[in-house]
Amino acid sequence: MEDRIIKTEYSDEMQKSFVDYAMSVIVARALPDVRDGLKPVQRRVLYDMSELGIKFDNPYRKSARIVGDTMGKYHPHGDSSIYEALVVMAQDFKKGLPLVDGHGNFGNIEGDGAAAMRYTEARLQKITQEAFLADLDKDIVDFVPNFDETEKEPSVLPVKIPNILVNGSEGIAVGMATNIPPHNLGEVIEATKAYMRDENISTKDLMKYIKGPDFPTGGIVTNKDELPDIYESGAGKIKIRGKVEIEKAKGGHINVVITEIPYTMIGANIGKFLQDIAQLSETKKTQDIVDISNQSSKEGIRIVIELRKDADAENFVNLLYKKTHLEDTFGVNMLAINNGTPEIMGLKQVIKSCVDFQYEVNTRKYNNLLEKEKERKEIQEGLIKAVNVIDLIIEILRGSKDRQMAKDCLTTGKTDGINFKSKESKIMAEQLQFTEKQANAILEMRLYKLIGLELDALIKEHDETLANIYRYEDILDRKDSMASVIIKELDEIKKEFSKPRKTVIENCEEAVYKEKEFEVMDVYYLMDRFGYAKLIDKNTYERNVEACESEFRYCFMIKNNGRIAMFTEDGQMHVIKAMDLPMSKLRDKGTPVDNVTNYKSEDGAIVYVCDMDAMVQGRLLFATKGGLVKIVQGLEFETIRKTIASTKLTDKDEVAAIVPVTDEKNIVMKSRNGYFLRFQLEEISLLKKVSQGVRGMKLDSKDQVEEVYLTKAVDDKSIEHNGHGLVLNTVKLQKRDAKGTRIK
């Protein structure tokens, strides 16, 4: 047993195991091969569809069948990854050249996922069949055993175009990632042809053909001058913008219409983009937005933002570019597997690798075709020769005892055991020297081949074979001949499958958003008894003074960039920014204060609301239901927080009233049981907000303070009490901490 135990250093084993795992993920899972531009799972799905016969001109087959067959034969890593790869290859908004023709719900650009694989169907696209899977039967790529060595699969597909550029790729491996943008098929083919004509061509000259990325979603690449460096190194950042149109709408409004989005916005990011636009309005970054609607459909993207009549549309578009993903960055990292190792490659390197692969594939293809044509030539020459001595051959066949005897005679001239009609026939038979393949073809030849027309056809076929042999040898011997063959195939693919460019490449100035200067003005803060608050302009207030004073619990003037302090029974002060409240009409409902503060109804009733910026310059009188009072400097409440504790309360006590103190001399405290206590204000100490205060009024066990009033030395201020008017200064003047006088 001890002989079977291998002792090793733990760190060495971990290092080796991690490197093995990392390379497995890099090479066999996450990164594409530069030759065919496909990851292993994509390659296996396409090959399996080809093996199942799901061609472009055949009926669709269930995706579940494709996924199951691929997983069982080639890719034992779970059905979800296989189906996801199948779906992505069918989505024309992700791939510039979809490789799979999907039937059913394969998701959409707004992020909705595809239906389950049991509901969808698929088949190969025509270009996939003609440019990706053609000639696999001609032994032009290596086949390797599958995971359990029960099947064979291609190590790479014989793709005829630089697919890694056309469709791009993205993937995250261990310690590295790839992100290659898609390009226009026609441009890539022209650049490939240019490289084949001049292998010393520079990246800059290649970019005369490949202008830049061509995203399926269109959009605008804004940093054209930076692209040469990106394509030279294989890494960099491409700036992309959505395409925007400005339309005039009904009523004089302006519509900003987004018709194309950045490639990076595909999926859930469209919803995030709409949220970001709404957030601009909520945070007061802009007040130009009237309405937002997503009118996108199968015909294309159409996001409509309706602006106010006097809005600066161009400035608003620049705001979208600056503050949302309507302008975004695509990080290019052209990492791919090249000769079995991951490598960051520039544009020229990628095209070179793809062209070298084409030469390799075509060399194998035409070597195989040449061998087959030479075999056909050998057989054809044997048949033509046999027709010329057909009588002798028939005599040999009739005189032989078995097939082997006749074959030996045809190949070596051995005549032992064969009965001939004459010595001349035997002498001629001894001179025969057909090859073994020719002899087999003669022995299997049917009699109708002796017809004159068939002989002519045989001779014509032989001439064609000789022409093919000459052509194939020319292609294999001369590089320019093979190049012309490859270029011809590329031209045919371009003619049938290329489409116009969607993405615009240009140099754009950086978006500059000019914020409107904020005009500080006086406005009025209105809040009703239900806690709905709003701002109205000064003119509206002056036209409706009586309505404002009578219908609203709080009504006072503030600056439109000011703050409102709101005190509650539980001793908390909540701060409201005036800018968080909309400018409204007098009859508009307003905004609930709990939408713009941390206030909740369980915090207790709202006791006092005031202009915070004015309040901090003065003093406040606090009175609790338990009879405690204190005066606090307003500066104590200066804060940048949304909520602070405004006072300290004893158990089960609550704030009864808060009153601003100016030049008043007396305080009148009223209890629920009808007791009134008037004493001089100077008897109340000036304390900190964290203190509880001093006792202002003695209360019975079930009594509590309800209201507090401040009066001047000479003051006829009155209140209504039990249906009668009561002048506060007529209440008997006493000392603090007394019970007061009960007034019926």
Task: Return mean pLDDT, the chain.
Answer: 88
- pLDDT value of residue 3: 64
For 261, the 3-state DSSP assignment is coil
Q: Is CATH 2.120.10.90 correct for 620-633+650-744?
A: yes
pLDDT digits over 632-677, tens only? 999 999 988 999 999 999 888 999 999 999 988 999 999 999 999 9
Span of 34-38, 169-173, 233-237 with lowest mean pLDDT:
169-173
Q: Which amino acid is at 223?
A: N
Q: In whole angstroms, give the CA distance from residue 410 to residue 373.
A: 23
DSSP secondary structure letters along 554-572:
EEEEEETT-EEEEEETTSE
Mean pLDDT of the region 132-144: 91
User: Phi and psi for 421 in degrees, rounded to 5?
Assistant: -75, -30
Q: Which helix (H) or strand (E) holds 43?
A: helix 40-51
Span of 43-52, 94-103, 580-589 with lowest mean pLDDT:
580-589
Asked whether residue 1 carries a pLDDT value surpassing 50, the answer given is no
pLDDT digits over 707-726, tens only? 999 998 888 888 888 888 88
- pLDDT value of residue 389: 81
Q: Count of CB atoms within 10 A of residue 121's CB?
A: 19
Mean pLDDT of the region 159-169: 94
The answer to whether the beta carbons of residues 171 and 39 sit under 8 Å apart is: yes
| Catalytic site includes residue 675 | no
The answer to whether the beta carbons of residues 490 and 189 sit under 8 Å apart is: yes
- pLDDT value of residue 114: 93
Domain topology for 243-325:
Gyrase A; domain 2 (3.30.1360)
- pLDDT value of residue 309: 83
Rg of the chain over all Cα atoms, to the nearest angstrom: 45
Span of 443-452, 556-565, 697-706 with lowest mean pLDDT:
443-452
Class level of CATH domain 352-497:
mainly alpha
Q: In whole angstroms, give the CA distance from residue 191 to residue 501.
A: 15
Per-residue pLDDT band for 628 (boundaries 50, 70, 90) equals very high
**β partners of residue 337:** 33, 342
Mean pLDDT of the region 529-535: 89
DSSP 8-state secondary structure symbol assigned to residue 114: P
- pLDDT value of residue 38: 93
Q: In whole angstroms, give the CA distance from residue 39 to residue 355.
A: 19
Span of 398-412, 537-551, 633-647 with lowest mean pLDDT:
398-412
Per-residue pLDDT band for 518 (boundaries 50, 70, 90) equals low
Q: In whole angstroms, give the CA distance from residue 19 to residue 13.
A: 10
Q: Which residues of 15-29 are buried (b: 16+ CB within 10 A; e: fewer)?
A: eeeeeeeeeebbbeb
Ordered alpha helix ranges (H), 413-537 = 423-430, 436-444, 452-477, 479-497
pLDDT digits over 340-383, tens only? 888 999 999 999 999 999 999 999 999 999 999 988 888 888 88
- pLDDT value of residue 720: 87
DSSP 8-state secondary structure symbol assigned to residue 223: B
Q: Which amino acid is at 76?
A: P
Q: In whole angstroms, give the CA distance from residue 736 to residue 695.
A: 8
Residues 6+ apart with CB under 8 A from 24: none
Q: In whole angstroms, give the CA distance from residue 99 to residue 45.
A: 11
DSSP secondary structure letters along 19-41:
HHHHHHHIIIIIS-BTTT---HH
Q: Can you read off the two tokens belonging to residue 660?
A: 């601003």
Residues 6+ apart with CB under 8 A from 715: 728, 729
Which is the catalytic residue, given 60, 74, 119, 525?
119
Asked whether residue 563 carries a pLDDT value surpassing 60, the answer given is yes
Residue with tokens 């996001």: 303
Three-class secondary structure assignment of 507-575 = ECCCCCCCCCCCCCCEEEEEECCCCEEEEEEHHHHHHCHHHHHHHCCEEEEEECCCEEEEEECCCEEEE
Asked whether residue 253 carries a pLDDT value surpassing 90, the answer given is no
- pLDDT value of residue 620: 93
The answer to whether the beta carbons of residues 328 and 276 sit under 8 Å apart is: no
pLDDT digits over 258-305, tens only? 999 999 998 778 888 888 888 888 777 888 888 899 888 888 899 999
Task: Please state at what angle helix 185-197 crosses helix 347-388, rounded to 10 degrees.
Answer: 80
Asked whether residue 527 carries a pLDDT value surpassing 50, the answer given is yes
Largest Cα–Cα distance in the chain? Answer: 164
Q: Is CATH 3.90.550.10 correct for 38-158?
A: no
**β partners of residue 258:** 244, 303
Asked whether residue 27 carries a pLDDT value surpassing 80, the answer given is no
**β partners of residue 558:** 523
The answer to whether the beta carbons of residues 593 and 599 sit under 8 Å apart is: yes
Asked whether residue 700 carries a pLDDT value surpassing 70, the answer given is yes
Residues 6+ apart with CB under 8 A from 32: 38, 39, 42, 164, 169, 171, 178, 180, 336, 337
Residue with tokens 């099947």: 151
Higher per-residue pLDDT: 68 or 270:
68
Mean pLDDT of the region 682-701: 90
Mean pLDDT of the region 7-15: 71
Listed by start position, the domains of the chain span 38-158, 243-325, 352-497, 517-615, 620-633+650-744
pLDDT > 90: percent of the chain: 52
Asked whether residue 25 carries a pLDDT value surpassing 80, the answer given is no
The burial of 462, by beta-carbon neighbours within 10 Å (0-12 exposed, 13-18 middle, 19 or more buried), is given as: middle
Q: Which amino acid is at 319?
A: L
